[in-house]
Amino acid sequence: MPLNSTSTTSPPPEQLMERCCRTPWISYLAPFPMAPGVYYVSGNDWVACYLIDTGEG
């Protein structure tokens, strides 16, 4: 979804703030492996979190 203010498909800024800041679970994506030992585990439209498996427990 485009986030620029000139696009006719972008939601109003209030809806973007609500979705991104107050209800991040709406844009949930299940964890998945990205590379050996690296997993994408969380995030929303502008932040991502990764789990790095070092094998050390």
Average pLDDT, the chain: 76
Domain borders along the chain are: 13-52
48 band by pLDDT with thresholds 50, 70 and 90 = confident
| pLDDT in the model for residue 45 | 62
Q: Over 90: is that where the pLDDT of 37 sits? A: yes
The answer to whether the beta carbons of residues 40 and 31 sit under 8 Å apart is yes
Q: Per DSSP, which regions of 1-57 are E strands?
A: 32-35, 38-43, 48-52
Q: Over 90: is that where the pLDDT of 20 sits? A: no
1 band by pLDDT with thresholds 50, 70 and 90 = very low
Greater confidence, 29 or 53?
53
